[in-house]
A and B are shown apart, each in its own frame.
Chain A
């Protein structure tokens, strides 16, 4: 069937900010969908609050709304744009929920908007646990014994039937928030309560435990003619009990016979038919009892998902693109397989390699939260790796994770441990369980023993056991000296670095003097090399190259080589020389080429913003006629989409892997250079190895980047340029600390290099406080000094993003942070243009930025952070590379900053580009989004350590409206009335007065704790007193729990005060009460509340803003 002509405009809802459970895979799918719809000539309207997405680039949709994704706001967009159809399946749970709500509110009916891709009833049938279960019964598929409850009492009744352990899943939540596994009745009650709270429909599903069963996923695509195909099967190595987003998974399924696989295949398609997903991609999850193959349907997602992004990258089949085309009426046979260019999309991809995904976690950022994995997702990113066998695939994934692993690194905590200790460790579902399994084999445990505890399928365990056995052999005998032996190890996925580490141990020099000697040159080193084969990754590489043991590149073609692929999507492997030299399919071109290194797995601090920059580099350089070559290993990204770059290598970002790619690419054509400045720290860390190998680096030199990061080198440059940094010093004793503090002047910020009890840093105002800190909080000694910085209290922090081509500097944007200096810049809200800085200060920052750009010989992008206090500009840090703020700046000013930077790096002068418009007639506010709710026990407070996972942008004519939008977009719904609780540190008391006054005038009731209350009362404000927690009940936390508080302003200084107020923040988080932990943000919130009501907000597209 051809495309529909009865619709001409389509609204696409994005997924909003990056949060746990909903990351940049939805930018990937949304971008594909928008491109696909535009190709067909539809007018596309997009709403997404996330400025760091490619999909919100103004050239993709016809009308791009960076507005909060709430039903009320989207209703306004619908009223304005009058789309014919709404595609709700590309923006994760956020989009589905929003679309359902719009349907419920009657907005879709009112404006005649048709839901395409999935109808409201199908979404509800898939998402509503009870209806889903009934649907499965109707087609004869077994579900777990279960029941739905809306109250704790109902839940207890269900428990009678299902028994313990019991799985609790709240309805309509992302990544299973609020769910868990209960092993006893007390835990059951607690998890049910949390689940009911988390569910927007106050509903939980209680299920019989399938713990230890095998878990599988099927990615299905169906069209409106009822053609249905399976794109990929995925097998979870982690059995049931760990959220699939937190599980290590492989594709395809490896432990099913065809008969069992076909049962699952037929069942998946039956599920889509029964649920009524007419067109598009869906994901169906199954549990299988390993003892008898009993199959149970767990759930289905009637939309593209994280798993479909993984399946797309694993097979080369662009699920989102195809789903979008199907949604507008095409059938699968009418679409082409873009990878082969010759076959239709109506086929099932078959692969001739093994894909492994390993999630990446960030528990270290959330102290106090246990690192146990459960049915609520906690990972912040993932790595995918491809190998010709499982061993190669899993070892590549481990090194691609960038958590310091070179493979199955040893697990020191279990070295030499007894069976009971190891068994106990294996029984805990923690992020590092795979490494524990490796260590268990080192300690002599058997596959059967490990399987009994972990319920990992013995097939995977035997593969890991095989890797450990090979490691033992290496540790005993050193590296094999022949090509076949070395090739065998490389084909198992061992990195050169891991091989070197293991080989060195064969001569008994692990640790201590021997290892030091091994790293030096000279006779002893030569002797060690002779004995071990090699003592470093470089020597292993040299040996490999001498013996001709080189990786080859194979293509991901969706058809296992049955047809020729036209899309160069590749991975490396080590092949046997079956027909002479191992066959390499890289086939590099003779063009002028530029390699862009991506950012690897998402993590806090390095996420979608950097992928955005890399994608822009690809687009810009391709437009200029260069061949673009992308290297990355993050399956969630747009950068790893098959048509983002000319050539894509899906490989770990390590020295070894990247240098092998460059070797092949340099064999033909001209490699102009590599871009390492766009992907965050990941590619930067490779710069040295690339330079050593004689590979040209485009743009700012790695040495300049290093200079900016080296404390001493940078201090010299600053003094040469006569710029001002906050004073600082290092102390190795109490007396030294007192002397340094006296020199700098109080207040000072103290940071120990060795931390006791999580007490990381403190601001001290006097020598007495300094003494107390040193006596109780830190060990100060020669080995463990204290860093002392001048503390710029209440300073305003600013970010400046600039471009430089060596002869000209252009300021792209100056951002003023809302939170004061001391909060990580990634966690601060900020505005562009600055909302309260005088022009002369801005000019001074721009002057300094220019001086720094020239001094560092920046070629490309640069980010500078300043603090402004009492009219003085202090330089905090300089990063002569792409920063997290680049996409926000680009969206705010309407200029493709990253693209321009990429072209400058490739040699174009800035004068080729129009100057940036600097006087914007509107205000853009960026706000950070936090995952605290996922980490019960951690303190939801802002600090110098970054904790946010994503960001939203609010854009409007005034600061207040833009700020309000940013808060709504970030999920913080500012109240229009009720009770405000205020408790602020002494230095904030004067600052907060106008805010309190505004809220009182607006009709709020204000309560405050003792000191704050008396200060505000002295100012003539009618503020009531409430007990601090330490003052006894009823206290403020009681009131928050009871739902009496609508808004919280709570700032603290000092460790004790922070500890005392933790329960307030946790209660606020649990009660979803908006709270602000800085005075500046509190003031902004009060201003926004009093200036505009949410229902008065207006919507406007980026294209409209830029045109004005």
Chain B
């Protein structure tokens, strides 16, 4: 930890600060909620969709650095929300949030941040911060906002340094819903908003919520499924009692190894029972664990809406080698080197070759590391929902 004497003097007008675990103090202007929050600082390179990012439960315990300088320009609305539970704890941006301009905006992004208890920090060289993360990995930090500009820096440094970090942390339990729910929402269209799910639809998908984005459920509905969402710790018997045609394993925050302690046995049992499975992100990682692979913490993670993923392996036919531009948000990955014989790699990242999709031989079970539900991001990969739902029943 750096000597407190080396803290950079607080500039006048500074109402916000990002304090890294190594003692680095980054001053700026606070916005949104006041107070402080601890988390891992990551960066996201998407140029649109900040509201979706901030409400994505996979960002629980994370502070998102947006690399695009203007954030908040289209305000906030009641639709572009991925979950009602905790998402990112805060965000770091370069420019002060402007007045919104968009026909769907109902409030300023700053006001929305206040209402949702999220802390923002502006006036930061976010590119420099991103480069630091690229070079040294995602640091733990405290983000704080005090309109009077009064901060207890040594205490914040201590808090950041003492925070244990995401590795080994089960965050799914913090963001999963408490009880089961019949998913009611359909997909969004311009001028009409969200549709309604048909409760009599077949097949029936039971979705395990490890911190899911709502758009996943909407896409399952769009693909023709009836969706029942259950909490992260729902057991095998409880799931089977719902008579699923298939089970969906959602995305979520934290370390897959930690969440896997209770989730993987359930997934293994589902596999053994030949229940069709589809996983996204954390769900992908835990399917990998259940199948015998290992997961690793990535240096800087993948977060953005421009990530190319290529279809590899058997079973793609003419579309072998096709590239999908995908939305990604993960700091852990399935280690492709540890995939057992019966697990096929179906997708790889063209950025760094990391695993982005698996399929279990002899089972109707597959998963992807990225986010085919988009929101934000490209909608190239909707076919995965069709593939899953279409293969059920």
Q: How far is the CB of B56 from chain A (nearest CB, A)?
A: 12
Majority SS at the chain A contact face: loop
Q: Is the CB–CB distance between B377 and A258 below 8 Å?
A: yes
B residues less than 8 Å from A462 (CB atoms): 98-99, 101
Q: Within 8 Å of chain B (Cβ to Cβ): is A563?
A: yes
Q: Is the CB–CB distance between B190 and A262 below 8 Å?
A: no
Q: Within 8 Å of chain A (Cβ to Cβ): is B127?
A: yes
A residues less than 8 Å from B317 (CB atoms): none
Q: Within 8 Å of chain B (Cβ to Cβ): is A575?
A: yes
B residues less than 8 Å from A579 (CB atoms): 24, 26, 125, 128-129, 132
Q: Within 8 Å of chain B (Cβ to Cβ): is A477?
A: no
Q: Within 8 Å of chain B (Cβ to Cβ): is A227?
A: yes
B residues less than 8 Å from A293 (CB atoms): 103-104, 190-191
Q: Interface segment, A52-60, A345-353, A438-446?
A: A345-353
Q: Interface segment, A150-158, A520-528, A553-561?
A: A553-561
Q: How far is the CA of A365 from the CA of B184 in the complex (A)?
A: 65
What would 6 A/B residue contacts be, using CB atoms closer than 8 Å? A226-B322, A262-B377, A350-B45, A350-B46, A350-B47, A351-B47
Q: Is the CB–CB distance between A347 and B124 below 8 Å?
A: no
Contact with A along B161-187 (1 / 0, CB 8 A): 000000000000000000000000000
A residues less than 8 Å from B376 (CB atoms): 258, 262
B residues less than 8 Å from A295 (CB atoms): 190
Q: Interface segment, B63-71, B150-158, B275-283?
A: B63-71
B residues less than 8 Å from A623 (CB atoms): none
Find the residue from B70, B127, B378 having the highest chain A CB count within 10 A.
Answer: B127
Q: Interface segment, A67-75, A249-257, A961-969, A1060-1068?
A: A249-257
B residues less than 8 Å from A463 (CB atoms): 98
Q: How far is the CA of A333 from the CA of B350 in the complex (A)?
A: 8
Which residues 450-469 in A have Cβ within 8 Å of B in the complex? 457-459, 462-463
Q: How far is the CA of A306 from the CA of B386 in the complex (A)?
A: 39
Q: How far is the CA of A265 from the CA of B376 in the complex (A)?
A: 12
Which of B77, B95, B375 sits near A389, CB closer than 8 Å? B95
Q: Within 8 Å of chain A (Cβ to Cβ): is B285?
A: no
Q: How far is the CB of B210 from chain A (nearest CB, A)?
A: 23
Q: How far is the CA of A344 from the CA of B348 in the complex (A)?
A: 13
* CB closest residue in chain B, given A579: B128
A residues less than 8 Å from B134 (CB atoms): 561-564
- The answer to whether residues A258 and B28 also contact, given A347-B306, A350-B45, A560-B130 and a CB cut-off of 8 A, is no
Q: Is the CB–CB distance between B124 and A578 below 8 Å?
A: yes
* CB closest residue in chain A, given B74: A257
A residues less than 8 Å from B8 (CB atoms): 577, 580
Q: Within 8 Å of chain A (Cβ to Cβ): is B251?
A: no
Q: How far is the CB of B21 from chain A (nearest CB, A)?
A: 15
Q: How far is the CA of A722 from the CA of B272 in the complex (A)?
A: 104
Q: How far is the CB of B251 from chain A (nearest CB, A)?
A: 17
Which of A252, A266, A578 sits near B125, CB closer than 8 Å? A578
Q: Within 8 Å of chain B (Cβ to Cβ): is A514?
A: no
Q: Is the CB–CB distance between A260 and B190 below 8 Å?
A: yes
Q: Within 8 Å of chain A (Cβ to Cβ): is B83?
A: no
Contact with A along B70-82 (1 / 0, CB 8 A): 1001100101100
Q: Within 8 Å of chain B (Cβ to Cβ): is A332?
A: yes
Q: How far is the CB of B13 from chain A (nearest CB, A)?
A: 7
Which residues 245-297 in A have Cβ within 8 Å of B in the complex? 252, 254-263, 265-266, 290-295
Q: Within 8 Å of chain A (Cβ to Cβ): is B137?
A: no
Q: Within 8 Å of chain B (Cβ to Cβ): is A62?
A: no
Contact with B along A62-86 (1 / 0, CB 8 A): 0000000000000000000000000
B residues less than 8 Å from A343 (CB atoms): 350-351
- The answer to whether residues A576 and B130 also contact, given A258-B80, A262-B374, A262-B379 and a CB cut-off of 8 A, is no
Q: How far is the CB of A97 from chain B (nearest CB, A)?
A: 33
A residues less than 8 Å from B51 (CB atoms): 257
Contact with B along A317-341 (1 / 0, CB 8 A): 0000000000000011100000000
Q: Is the CB–CB distance between A344 and B127 below 8 Å?
A: no
- The answer to whether residues A561 and B350 also contact, given A261-B48, A388-B94, A484-B13 and a CB cut-off of 8 A, is no
B residues less than 8 Å from A352 (CB atoms): 45, 67-69, 126-127, 130
Q: Within 8 Å of chain B (Cβ to Cβ): is A806?
A: no
Q: Within 8 Å of chain A (Cβ to Cβ): is B236?
A: no
Q: Is the CB–CB distance between B70 and A354 below 8 Å?
A: yes
Q: Is the CB–CB distance between B69 and A457 below 8 Å?
A: no
Q: Within 8 Å of chain B (Cβ to Cβ): is A583?
A: yes
Contact with A along B44-66 (1 / 0, CB 8 A): 01111101100000000000000
Q: How far is the CB of A326 from chain B (nearest CB, A)?
A: 13
Which of A225, A256, A331, A577 sits near B48, CB closer than 8 Å? A256
Q: Within 8 Å of chain B (Cβ to Cβ): is A909?
A: no
B residues less than 8 Å from A266 (CB atoms): 378-379
Q: Name B's A-contacting residues (CB within 8 A).
A: 8, 11-13, 24, 26-28, 43, 45-49, 51-52, 67-70, 73-74, 77, 79-80, 94-95, 98-104, 123-132, 134, 188, 190-191, 300, 304-308, 310, 321-323, 325, 350-351, 374-379
Q: How far is the CA of A257 from the CA of B109 in the complex (A)?
A: 12
Q: Is the CB–CB distance between A258 and B48 below 8 Å?
A: yes
Q: Is the CB–CB distance between A346 and B379 below 8 Å?
A: no
Q: Within 8 Å of chain B (Cβ to Cβ): is A888?
A: no
Majority SS at the chain B contact face: loop
* CB closest residue in chain B, given A260: B190
Q: How far is the CA of A263 from the CA of B325 in the complex (A)?
A: 15
Q: How far is the CA of A347 from the CA of B24 in the complex (A)?
A: 34
Please give 14 more A-B residue pairs, beta carbons under 8 A apart, in addition to A333-B323, A578-B26: A226-B322, A256-B102, A259-B80, A259-B190, A347-B306, A350-B306, A389-B95, A484-B13, A554-B127, A562-B67, A575-B127, A576-B28, A576-B125, A577-B8
Q: Within 8 Å of chain B (Cβ to Cβ): is A582?
A: yes
A residues less than 8 Å from B379 (CB atoms): 262, 265-266
Q: How far is the CB of A486 from chain B (nearest CB, A)?
A: 13
Which of B45, B95, B124, B188 sits near A560, CB closer than 8 Å? B45
Which of A331, A458, A563, A576 sits near B101, CB closer than 8 Å? A458
Q: How far is the CB of A169 from chain B (nearest CB, A)?
A: 26
Q: Is the CB–CB distance between A576 and B190 below 8 Å?
A: no
Which residues 668-689 in A have Cβ within 8 Å of B in the complex? none
Q: Is the CB–CB distance between B375 and A258 below 8 Å?
A: yes
Q: How far is the CB of B205 from chain A (nearest CB, A)?
A: 24
B residues less than 8 Å from A347 (CB atoms): 306-308, 325, 350-351
- The answer to whether residues A333 and B125 also contact, given A257-B77, A262-B374, A578-B26 and a CB cut-off of 8 A, is no
Contact with B along A783-796 (1 / 0, CB 8 A): 00000000000000
Q: How far is the CA of A347 from the CA of B310 in the complex (A)?
A: 11
Q: How far is the CA of A275 from the CA of B352 in the complex (A)?
A: 34
Q: Is the CB–CB distance between B378 and A262 below 8 Å?
A: yes
- The answer to whether residues A578 and B351 also contact, given A256-B102, A293-B103 and a CB cut-off of 8 A, is no
Q: Within 8 Å of chain B (Cβ to Cβ): is A1076?
A: no
* CB closest residue in chain A, given B104: A257
Which of B11, B52, B67 sits near A258, CB closer than 8 Å? B52
Q: Within 8 Å of chain B (Cβ to Cβ): is A229?
A: yes
Q: Is the CB–CB distance between A575 and B323 below 8 Å?
A: no
A residues less than 8 Å from B94 (CB atoms): 388-389
Which of B26, B191, B378 sits near A292, CB closer than 8 Å? B191
Q: Within 8 Å of chain B (Cβ to Cβ): is A390?
A: yes
Which of A225, A226, A563, A583 sits near B351, CB closer than 8 Å? A563
Q: How far is the CA of A1030 from the CA of B162 in the complex (A)?
A: 95
Q: How far is the CA of A254 from the CA of B72 in the complex (A)?
A: 10
Q: Is the CB–CB distance between B68 and A560 below 8 Å?
A: yes
Q: How far is the CA of A560 from the CA of B28 in the complex (A)?
A: 21
Q: How far is the CA of A259 from the CA of B76 in the complex (A)?
A: 13
* CB closest residue in chain A, given B382: A266
B residues less than 8 Å from A459 (CB atoms): 73, 98-101
A residues less than 8 Å from B374 (CB atoms): 262
B residues less than 8 Å from A484 (CB atoms): 11-13
Q: Is the CB–CB distance between A388 and B69 below 8 Å?
A: yes
A residues less than 8 Å from B11 (CB atoms): 484
A residues less than 8 Å from B101 (CB atoms): 255, 457-459, 462
Q: How far is the CA of A262 from the CA of B130 in the complex (A)?
A: 25
